[in-house]
Amino acid sequence: MMLKLAEYYNNIEEWYSYMPIEKWPPLQELGVADFFYDFIDNKLSEEDLERMSIQHKYDKVDIPAYHIAGWYDNFLQATLRNYTQLNEKTNGQRLIIGPWGHGVFSSTLGERSFGIHASGDWIDYEKDLTSLHIRWFDAMLKEKVSSAAEEAPIKLFVMGTNVWRDEYEWPLARTNYTPYYFHSGGRANTCYGDGRLSVEPAGSEPYDTFVYDPSNPVPTNGGGTLFAGVNTMGPRDQREIESREDVLVYTSEPLTEPLEVTGPIKVKLWAKTDAIDTDFTAKLVDVMPNGKAYNLTDGIVRATYSNEIKQEDAIKDTINEYEIDLWATSNVFLPGHCIRVEISSSNFPRYDMNLNTGKTMLISKEMKKAKQTIYHQSEYPSHILLPVIK
């Protein structure tokens, strides 16, 4: 079996695209993980799901915890939720978020270096994660008198300026949620198009369109991922992605002053599709003066599960409002940099391809192209909501 597993692993990139997944040879031939298909097809019972999740058990947890995450951690959102929920009822909660991936605490991630002081081994040139743990455990369990119990409950790494900062709540109380609206003359396709991003509300503008072809999905390039064989985890230059016609790109003017964005981020999107079901994706990007475009955070929404939309006839050829959760980040857009938002319909293999047929990759391999229409005008003011910190 081990030799067979090694053979399958060597072909891992090919397996990402295998359809239908219910016929996936590794599990079919090896006969392991019988629960796999039920799990990804949501056939587990409500009792099973409740037993596996902590979301229904916060009221039963009355002990402090040390919560660790990274801005590119695929469990960032869950960690933030655990911290905020437990912090409401139990003292002693601690949260630290670095420019890290999942279980990766180095000063370099993806294609960027944040300085040696960003490393979990040398936080602010003074501490490391192990010593922080020990001091906290000493204070919580051994009741040792130290400054640990009096320290700020949250320590965040702010990218861009690349500094650690103490905070006392999440989200930050001084957050000014600011909409940045999408604009274009109807040709926002690619980073060479006319897509613009600004605080000026949308007026009377033409819509943007692109064709999403599941047989040629937008490839994953960094982000909060956790898998092998493709470009994984962290910030990576997105310019190749942004050269695709099926990616709409909205970019601000170069900033004249620093702009800090720290907190939860959402995109409000008014869109139409000619498919009975489809996906919409969004990505927040920091564009350097030299043109390099580094991803900060991203998200996806499936049309039939957005805003309680369940009926197929409520999707096709209908303008709907979609909310895309991009989780959170902390970044200062420096002078000369631009804020950029990408809109598309795929990010594969981080997310499964929507086949645009109403069926999933689990049971089908039939695909259809979808024409996607994105609106940005006074009636349909598509925008990203940024948590601006003064």
Task: Indicate whether 126 and 145 sit together in one domain.
Answer: yes
Kindly state whether residue 122 falls inside one of the protein's structural domains: yes
DSSP string, 327-372: EEEEEEE-TT-EEEEEEES--BTTSPPP-SSS--TTT------EEE
pLDDT at 328: 98
Please tell me the pTM assigned to this model. 0.93
Q: Identify whether 3 is part of a domain.
A: no
Count of domains for the chain: 3
Within a 10 A sphere around the Cβ of 371, how many other Cβ atoms? Answer: 15
Beta-carbon-side half-sphere exposure of residue 282 (alpha carbons within 13 Å)? 27
Q: String of b and e for 17-53 (b: at least 16 CB within 10 Å)?
A: eebebbebebbeeeeeeeeeeeeeeeeeeeeeeeeee
Please check whether residues 75 and 125 belong to one and the same domain.
Answer: yes
Residue 305, pLDDT score = 81
Residue where one domain finishes, among candidates 112, 133, 167: 167
211 and 341: one domain?
yes
End-of-domain residue from the set 167, 202, 237:
167
Residue 2 inside a domain? The answer is no
CA-CA-CA-CA dihedral for 250, 256, 258, 260, to nearest 10: -30
What is the reported pLDDT for 143? 75
Q: Is the peptide bond before 201 cis (omega within 30 degrees of 0)?
A: no
Q: Does residue 112 sit in the same domain as residue 253?
A: no
Token pair, residue 365, equals: 């391999």
DSSP label of 373:
E
Could you tell me the residue range of the domain that residue 22 belongs to? 10-51
For residues 226 and 387, is the Cβ–Cβ distance under 8 A?
Answer: no
Going by C-beta distance under 8 Å and a sequence separation of 6 or more, which residues neighbour residue 60?
A: none
Residue 245, SS3 per DSSP: coil
State whether 197 and 124 are in the same domain.
no
206 and 151 assigned to the same domain: no
What is the DSSP pairing of strand 383-389 with strand 259-273? antiparallel
Question: Do 105 and 129 form a contact (C-beta atoms < 8 A)?
Answer: yes
Q: Does residue 385 lie in a domain region? A: yes
pLDDT (tens, 9 = 90+) of the chain, 390 residues, equals: 555 656 666 667 777 888 988 888 777 776 666 677 777 766 667 777 777 788 888 988 899 999 999 999 999 999 999 999 999 989 889 999 999 999 899 999 999 999 999 999 999 998 999 999 998 888 888 877 666 667 899 999 999 999 999 999 999 999 999 999 999 999 999 999 999 999 999 899 999 999 999 999 999 999 998 866 555 789 999 999 999 999 999 999 999 999 999 999 999 999 999 999 999 999 999 999 999 999 999 999 999 887 665 555 589 999 999 999 999 999 999 999 999 999 999 999 999 999 999 999 989 999 999 999 999 999 999 999 999 999
Do 28 and 41 fall into the same domain?
Answer: yes
Strand order in the sheet with 94-98: 66-70, 94-98, 154-158, 163-167
Cis preceding linkage at 20, omega within 30: yes
What CATH code is carried by the domain that includes residue 147? Answer: 3.40.50.1820
Specify the residue for token string 């003011």: 381
Q: Is residue 245 part of a domain?
A: yes
Are the beta carbons of 107 and 115 closer than 8 angstroms?
yes
User: For 102-215, where are the E strands, in sequence order?
Assistant: 108-109, 112-113, 154-158, 163-167, 175-183, 196-198, 208-212
Residue that is written with structure tokens 């992605």 in the block: 241
Q: Looking at the structure, do residues 213 and 323 belong to the same domain, yes or no?
A: yes
Do both 358 and 233 map to the same domain? yes
Distance, CA of 343 to chain centre? 13
Q: How far apart are CA 231 and CA 203, in angstroms?
A: 39
143 with 189, same domain: the answer is no
Provide the sign of the torsion angle of the four alpha carbons 179, 183, 187, 192, taken in this order.
Answer: negative
Domain membership of residue 254 (yes or no) is: yes
Task: Look up residue 26 and give its two tokens.
Answer: 């590794």
Task: Count CB atoms within 10 A of the CB of residue 199.
Answer: 12
Residue 277 lies in a domain: yes
Residue 1 falls inside a structural domain? no
Residue 379 pLDDT: 97
Sequence-distant (6+) residues with CB within 8 A of 250 are 182, 183, 184, 188, 195, 196, 197, 340, 341, 343
Say if residue 156 is in the same domain as residue 249: no
Domain boundary among 167, 192, 207: 167
pLDDT at residue 53, rounded to an integer: 80
Are 193 and 59 found together in one domain? no
Give the tokens for residue 290: 């030299």
- Residue 245 belongs to domain with CATH number: 2.60.120.260
